[in-house]
Structure 1
């Protein structure tokens, strides 16, 4: 039973990250016209339905983002006009202003039906879109199709024409320019609401200028500062609402006698002392660099324990003051969920995962920091890039042998990272139990533990290479982007913790399996403790390890070389325990076996519980459905109850009937609860 549960749990943990992250937006092609006539117009639409907290972008996305596109693969002889967008809403993300759509959005397409059309028209197209929430952006594409019957009787989706300014006559307006202000005067008969936001279709007005637009009784005013496009002769086009809530397309032309201004000033000063973190995007980065600003990007993830340690540096007064003094634009690239854009950016810096921290400034060499940063390193890198000088972290060395040594050292240092602390205690307990055991058994267990670590790292490297070959952007710790993996690890930590605390035992103890603490036949326990150590180590990285992995996962690196690096990392992580096994005199430093071992065993349950709470926090950031997160918390309590039933009524002093009923009830409760959590996993 012990081996079966161990194999099932660990096997599931390794396999869950292979599933691709699902889009939070449902997309399909729908019909809006019940009666399709040859030679006539018909309206169809691309329908987007975003989950709560997610959005897609308008035709002018604002500071960052990308509007949806459609590419016809088979238009069935029809001709199509451009996508017609409903009026958007303003989204302010700490000074990054975007124009977006939320919930259900229909982007209309007017089709011209062929004059000779008969029977059915089978439309096929590919839709690409960028969906975002407050943690990141995720590009997706989907092939959509729609069958239209020529004639009446087609199923049609209803839409609200009031939302589409392109469906009604253009409202003509005029504008004047004075200094850096554009003032639009709409016709009074249009009854446009000047107090509501007007959205420009192009970048002749900056998103911040749109956000800060002003109005009086008859005019609308916008600042021309920071515009990305030159205001030239021709209309400035807006989407605006009238008093009934109907959207209109407003085209403003220069008023008689006015002149076109010079190109708008594209520089923008960031006030010193601005320590707000902005969400990173390539567009936001490019905008800040073009304005001559120094940019600091923290590539991070909620599941990355090393990233959380690094964040403490930003709170230190000396670092915060330096950021403020230099006017550094702080950006956070959150890789908690899968994000191909961030993965590609990490590759550009020679890293395969987080943490990754860089300073950027136009005209200066990129300053790439170490994986585990310090005050001194941040200040040194900032000083170098401010002076336009090159900065190189101490571990950014060259030479194949040096990279291998970094990989080995990084693997060894993983044992000092917080992710591995729970396993360290279990291994200490295992060595204490092995005191006085046959030396051959001790060495065997040490070798099997090392084999479990090395083979797990080798398997992890193989999975990463396979996914990369399939076009996926993955790297170190990628499995932590899977809520299924995080949930499984959380459940395993709670179960192991309860076993250590003495709530229940399976065979000689599931905790014994984790510790490899069975000197008289714990071969499987020793091996799987190595697998477990690798599984819990992946949310962390160590000094030098990230750089070595970036070197190993370079696209030009042979697969065999890459796998060699993963083997070396595994050897580095396993070497302390292997040495203790081969040289058992080192374990003489431990007290003799006694009551302290039971105390230590129970005490080691609490780091596991703490790690489970941390993983629950990670789940809370990955899953938008707060109801499911609440259910997962309750589910852990139910799983703990199942473990308690096993320990209470499955104990040896119980009758055979009591043990049968108790263990059967416990297994059913445990399995059904786990199945429920995974079945409803968002």
Structure 2
């Protein structure tokens, strides 16, 4: 009973930060919903904004995040009769290169603006409550974390007077937006080069310029943009991808007579562009960041990252029991090598399959990265149930059996090449929630490489993950150093269930962050139903009573 109460308290602690309010602190970001007026006038537009403040060393993303990342998304819950707001307006972003990937980011406080309009017939004094769920990706140079917040801003219809504090913050945010212009900008692409021409008054005062395209696929983000003055126009040239049609974007300008950058939102159409003129010099990525590493270095990082994954709590138990299985019954050397190769093949195939899915989705226009599936609560729920099942198997609650009988050590002891291959697939899939040194940079760089090189990096990650088991399978001296089978293996197997249960707890926490209290409750209900079902299976395997199906069936029906 005490354990059950402790679990309830722990679940409540995990759910507490999800309470809806106007200001929410997340592990890496503080977000606030603000309005220009706390007493908006009926029938008049009200500017509202999301103020995101990333913690030191972290950043959020522009509407087009560049080579990696994801834009901020919002789902509204507005009073009756209020139209859906327009898309969020973003301030001018900064540039950040990590492992050869160009990111369009905000490493400092930034406000995303939009407008709502209370219905004209709304009487004064009536509550006007704005609710929104905000989802964003926040990253450091080592990892990315999806965060979200349910925000509620209670207002009341009034005279529309501007608030002193929030009105000032909204005014500053509005001034930071790029200015819409209808300049006759043109672009042309030839020989793998993209050239943009923008008419600009007094171009000689410009000290630096950079073009941020709003749509993906027009330019190579990480390539320098060479800027020249061609008459009364600015000419920017960079490496092209596949530009087409009108290309909207933001031209960021720095001038000697202005102490801050200014931005212009424009749309360039295909057309004639002038020849290069007087150079301003190429605009390089952030100076403090090194150039893209060579493929060999990226591969080495992927392999090292894969090796380190083996000590993570989501992988180590599976690897340990699989390796100790080779110590059973003096496994012949040929069989040990066969199992090691099959296990490695399963790991590499899963890593390449997940990597191929990422590349395919990115080529189709989706802005996703490695482990993108973990941003879907349904995938988190499936992983939660899978990890819970593995943990219960390790704990001895039930055994995985085939027609030939019990497999003893469950998921890690499936015999033959097919069983080892399946265990490799499982280990690689279970490893997706984990990350470690070298891995993030290598996988991020892979997304900017040609497909063949990217697949090599994903295969390198799989090779690193499989290396310890390959070493055990191919080096007899290592197998001889493994402890001999005995009753201690049963105790070790039960002990190794602990990191799997901790992994399940972490996944439940992530599910709560993504899907709220209701989503986490449903996931934990599924865990309870699965646990009771597997307990019943184990009881039947051990010759338990036939009535054992009653609580399991009831739990499944309730779930």
What TM bracket, shorter-length normalisation?
0.5 to 0.7
1:399 alignment counterpart? 294
2:411 alignment counterpart? 514
Structure 1 portions without partners, runs of 5+? 1-50, 56-61, 68-82, 109-125, 141-157, 166-192, 212-223, 231-340, 351-361, 364-388, 677-682
2:168 corresponds to which of 204, 209, 214: 209
2:485 corresponds to which of 590, 593, 599: 593
2:309 alignment counterpart? 414
1:290 alignment counterpart? none
Distance in 1 separating the partners of 2:299 and 2:54: 44
Q: CA deviation at 1:226?
A: 8.8
Q: CA deviation at 1:89?
A: 7.3
8 Å CA contact 1:408–1:568 kept in 2: the answer is: yes
Give the 3 Å change call, closer, same or farther, for CA 91–138 of structure 1 in structure 2. Answer: closer
1:104 corresponds to which of 64, 76, 79: 79
After superposition, the CA RMSD in angstroms is 5.0
**2:175 matches 1:228:** yes
Distance in 1 separating the partners of 2:85 and 2:166: 26
1:198 corresponds to which of 161, 166, 171: 161
**2:87 matches 1:129:** yes
The 5 A counterparts of 1:148-547 are: 161-162=121-122, 198-199=161-162, 207=166, 209=168, 228=175, 390-392=287-289, 398-433=293-328, 436-507=330-401, 512=409, 514-515=411-412, 517-518=413-414, 521-547=415-441
Q: Secondary structure at the match of 1:129?
A: coil
Give the 3 Å change call, closer, same or farther, for CA 553–90 of structure 1 in structure 2. Answer: closer
Q: State the Cα deviation string for residues 288-309 of structure 1 (Å, max 9, x = none).
A: xxxxxxxxxxxxxxxxxxxxxx
Q: CA deviation at 1:442?
A: 1.4
2:534 alignment counterpart? 643
Higher-strand-fraction structure: 2
Q: Relative contact order (alpha carbons < 8 A, sep ≥ 6): 1 or 2 greater?
A: 2
Give the 3 Å change call, closer, same or farther, for CA 93–503 of structure 1 in structure 2. Answer: same
Distance in 1 separating the partners of 2:176 and 2:519: 45
2:511 corresponds to which of 619, 626, 629: 619
Structure 2 portions without partners, runs of 5+? 1-17, 23-30, 37-41, 56-74, 91-109, 126-155, 178-213, 224-253, 256-285
8 Å CA contact 1:496–1:511 kept in 2: the answer is: no
Q: State the Cα deviation string for residues 40-97 of structure 1 (Å, max 9, x = none).
A: xxxxxxxxxxx99599xxxxxx999999xxxxxxxxxxxxxxx96565778787899x
**For this pair of structures, how many residues does the alignment match?**
357
8 Å CA contact 1:54–1:102 kept in 2: the answer is: no
Q: State the Cα deviation string for residues 232-254 of structure 1 (Å, max 9, x = none).
A: xxxxxxxxxxxxxxxxxxxxxxx
2:447 alignment counterpart? 553
- Give me the TM-score of the superposition, normalised by structure 2: 0.53
Distance in 1 separating the partners of 2:397 and 2:499: 16
Q: CA deviation at 1:406?
A: 2.0
Distance in 2 separating the partners of 1:622 and 1:430: 38
Q: CA deviation at 1:208?
A: 5.7
Q: CA deviation at 1:617?
A: 0.5
8 Å CA contact 1:491–1:636 kept in 2: the answer is: yes
Q: Secondary structure at the match of 2:367?
A: coil
Q: State the Cα deviation string for residues 413-457 of structure 1 (Å, max 9, x = none).
A: 222334423333333433333x50122221111111000000001
Distance in 2 separating the partners of 1:349 and 1:423: 39
Distance in 1 separating the partners of 2:157 and 2:379: 51
Q: CA deviation at 1:399?
A: 2.1
Give the 3 Å change call, closer, same or farther, for CA 208–544 of structure 1 in structure 2. Answer: farther
8 Å CA contact 1:503–1:647 kept in 2: the answer is: yes
Q: State the Cα deviation string for residues 542-582 of structure 1 (Å, max 9, x = none).
A: 3222222222211xx32222112111211121112112101
- Bigger Cα Rg: 1
Distance in 1 separating the partners of 2:168 and 2:85: 31
Q: Secondary structure at the match of 1:473?
A: coil
Q: State the Cα deviation string for residues 145-185 of structure 1 (Å, max 9, x = none).
A: xxxxxxxxxxxxx96612699xxxxxxxxxxxxxxxxxxxx
- Give me the TM-score of the superposition, normalised by structure 1: 0.44
8 Å CA contact 2:381–2:511 kept in 1: the answer is: yes
Q: CA deviation at 1:397?
A: 6.2
8 Å CA contact 1:468–1:474 kept in 2: the answer is: yes
Q: State the Cα deviation string for residues 522-560 of structure 1 (Å, max 9, x = none).
A: 333211211121112222223222222222211xx3222
8 Å CA contact 1:501–1:603 kept in 2: the answer is: yes
The 5 A counterparts of 1:37-48 are: none
Q: CA deviation at 1:466?
A: 1.2
Distance in 1 separating the partners of 2:298 and 2:81: 52
Distance in 1 separating the partners of 2:54 and 2:478: 58
Distance in 2 separating the partners of 1:137 and 1:513: 52
Q: Secondary structure at the match of 1:104?
A: coil
